Amino acid sequence: MIELLIITALVVWSAIFVFKKVFPKSAYSVFSKLSQFCRSKGWNSLAKWLQPAMVAGCGGGCGCSSNDAEAPKKSEVQAVKWK
């Protein structure tokens, strides 16, 4: 019985994790609506836990950063000349 609960919890957690990674915009709207529903019922701590984080960057889940600063350029690698 305990094993079934542990496996169920792992499968649900994995499904939520994949849903957030594959469909970031849909996941944001779903968790936002769940948070609003919990807040209307008076479950503030659960609503705060379900509240999605603010999206930084382009919001597409592509990994681009929110700032426009360029990465520092690396110095060119020069060949070693043997004498």
Confidence of residue 79 (pLDDT cuts 50, 70, 90): confident
Give the model confidence (pLDDT) of 3-57 as tens digits: 999 999 999 999 999 999 999 899 999 999 999 999 999 999 988 988 887 765 5
Q: Which residue has the higher pLDDT, 71 or 15?
A: 15
Q: Which residue has the higher pLDDT, 76 or 43?
A: 43
Confidence of residue 68 (pLDDT cuts 50, 70, 90): low
pTM, two decimal places: 0.57
23-47 as b/e: b if 16+ CB within 10 A:
ebeebbebbeeebeebeeeeeeeeb
Q: Which residue has the higher pLDDT, 21 or 73?
A: 21
